[in-house]
A = this chain, B = another copy of it.
Amino acid sequence: MDIGFIGLGVMGRPMAANLIAAGHRLTVYRDSAPAREVLGGRARFAGSAAEAARDGEAVVLMLPDTPDVEAVMRGEDGVLAALRPGTLVIDMSSISPAAERGLAAEVAAAGGEYLDAPVSGGEAGAREGMLSIMVGGDRTAVERAAPIFEVLGGRVSHIGAAGAGQVAKAANQIVVGVTIEAVAEALRLAEAAGVDAGAVRDALLGGFASSRVLDVHGARMLKGEYEPGFRVALHRKDLGLAVEASARLDVSLPVSGLVHQLMNAAVAAGLGDHDHAALKLLLDGRTG
Contact = CB atoms under 8 A, between A and B. Distances in A.
Interface in A239-255: 242, 245-246, 249-255
Contacts of A178: 178-179, 181-182, 185, 255
B179 A209 contact: yes
Given A189-B245, A203-B172, A120 B208 contact: yes
Contact of A212 (B160, B187, B210, B246): B210
Interface string A135-146: 000000000000
Contact of A283 (B204, B213, B251): B251
25 contacts: A155-B203, A155-B206, A157-B202, A158-B199, A160-B199, A167-B193, A170-B189, A171-B189, A172-B186, A172-B207, A172-B208, A174-B189, A175-B179, A175-B204, A176-B209, A178-B179, A181-B255, A182-B256, A185-B255, A188-B253, A189-B249, A189-B251, A208-B212, A210-B212, A211-B214
